[in-house]
Amino acid sequence: MAEAYPTFLAGQRLTAALLASAQPMVARKTADTSRSSTATPTADPHLTFSVEANAVYVWQGWIKYFADPTPDLQVNFTVPTGSLGEWHQVAAGSGTTLGATAGYSVRMDSNDVTSGRNFYGTSDTDMGAVLHGTLRVGSTAGTFALQWAQASSSATATILYTDSYIWMQRIA
């Protein structure tokens, strides 16, 4: 059975808040964010949502990034206590190279919403990753946020670029 939120009933009064709750939420980076010399993931200042207790969400997004091959990029999510879900990415994996003998290794594994993954970088080009998943929030409301850092600390900055985004829709 298809899921939808909220459920509109005949004769129900439509309020601005009710209509707003049916709209998808979109978080888009409005500025580049650089991080160097840190392998401790921190919430991105733009890709953050407030989520409701006992709600179910689907989400998708795209990030554009630069990561040198030494530090690479690690991505994970912060979720409210008791939340469950899965996420998947299509991103550069280990062994990605550029140039005349270019080859892209693609990482496509499915992950628990509380597990992170590393995306490969190259020293001479920007990369992109497609992300999507589900979030089932337990009895505690809170924050869903993309966290990221270098996979290994390096003085060469890793950058998450403007216009990266996550789109999130409550479905139950």
Give 147-160 pLDDT, tens digit per residue: 999 999 999 999 99
159: which strand partners? 34, 66
User: Band of the pLDDT at 105, cuts 50, 70, 90?
Assistant: confident
Asked if 113 and 131 count as a contact pair (C-beta separation under 8 A), the reply is no
Phi/psi at 139 (nearest 5 deg)? Answer: -80, 0
pLDDT surpassing 60 at residue 98: no
Look up the CATH number of domain 26-170: 2.60.120
Q: Please tell me the pTM assigned to this model.
A: 0.89
Q: How far is CA 54 from the centre of its chain?
A: 20
The full set of domain ranges for the chain reads: 26-170
Asked if 49 and 143 count as a contact pair (C-beta separation under 8 A), the reply is yes
User: Band of the pLDDT at 123, cuts 50, 70, 90?
Assistant: confident
pLDDT in tens, 12-65: 998 998 888 889 999 999 999 999 999 999 999 999 999 999 999 999 999 999
Sign of CA dihedral 83, 87, 92, 95: positive
Q: Which residue has the tokens 């998943």?
A: 133
> What pLDDT score was predicted for residue 94?
66
Sign of CA dihedral 40, 124, 165, 108: negative
Q: Count the residues in the chain.
A: 172
Residue 45 is inside which H or E element, if any? strand 42-51
* Alpha-carbon dihedral angle through residues 63, 64, 69, 71, given to the nearest 10 degrees: -60
Helices H / strands E in the chain, number of each: 1, 13
pLDDT surpassing 70 at residue 97: no
Give me the chain's average pLDDT, please: 91
| Cβ atoms within 10 Å, residue 78 | 17
pLDDT surpassing 60 at residue 101: no
pLDDT surpassing 60 at residue 161: yes
